[in-house]
Amino acid sequence: MNLSDIIYDSFMLPLETFVLKKKRKTMFKNIEGNILEIGAGTGTNLGFYDFDMISSYTVVDRRVLEKIRKFDFPKDKKIKFINSSVEFLCFEDDTFDSIVFTLVFCSVDDPLKGLNEVKRVLKPGGRIYFMEHVMPEHSILKNLFNRLNSSWNKLANGCNLNRETADMIRDAGFEIETLERFFGAFIVGRAIVKQ
């Protein structure tokens, strides 16, 4: 991990400990089959998977970290790491049973293109599992987040504070099955391709 990854983990630690950890625990309960995780970052999600329910695990990230590559994955599972962007996935159509992303689409350059790629490589009947920070609902906070966004974006490696990611998931052709908003500006949920 480089310095910016260490700073990221330290910055996230209180939020992770008191808010996100509990949500991740619930979110990861039923994830099974051939898994694709987009933007695994420093590997926060790795401890939450039930590898007994998983046939294969593939990570796509703009930069897959050594910490992920060195994780103690079960030896009998097929594990793959790919340095790539979600907007250009190198898989056949209908490859994965479950696709996971957490705190990723805030910083994807072309989120709709990325979500369309996610849809393309998801098997029919497969599901996406997501947790993202998004634009808050309250008008005063909305205004504040819009004002802060351009400075935050430069400071935080292209991250945006004001994305409406649930709307983008719907726009890409998914039907959201569960969606919970929490801590003002976070969502967690599950979606399937709309028939």
Residues 78-97 that bind ligand SAM (CB under 6 A): 85-87
Q: Which is nearer to ligand SAM, 21 or 138 (CB)?
A: 21
Of 86 and 122, which has the nearer Cβ to ligand SAM?
Answer: 86
The residues in 94-153 that bind ligand SAM, with binding defined as CB under 6 A, are 102-104, 107-109, 114
Q: Is residue 99 a contact partner of residue 128, using CB atoms and an 8 Å limit?
A: yes
CB 173 within 8 Å of CB 128: no
**63: contact with ligand SAM by CB under 6 A:** yes
| Per rule CB under 6 A, count of chain residues that contact ligand SAM | 20
- Residue 67 binds ligand SAM (CB under 6 A): no
44 binds ligand SAM (CB under 6 A): yes
Comparing CA positions, the residue from 100, 90, 22, 25 lying closest to residue 57 is 100
Question: What are the structure tokens assigned to 155, written together?
Answer: 């400071």
d(CA 151, CA 164): 19
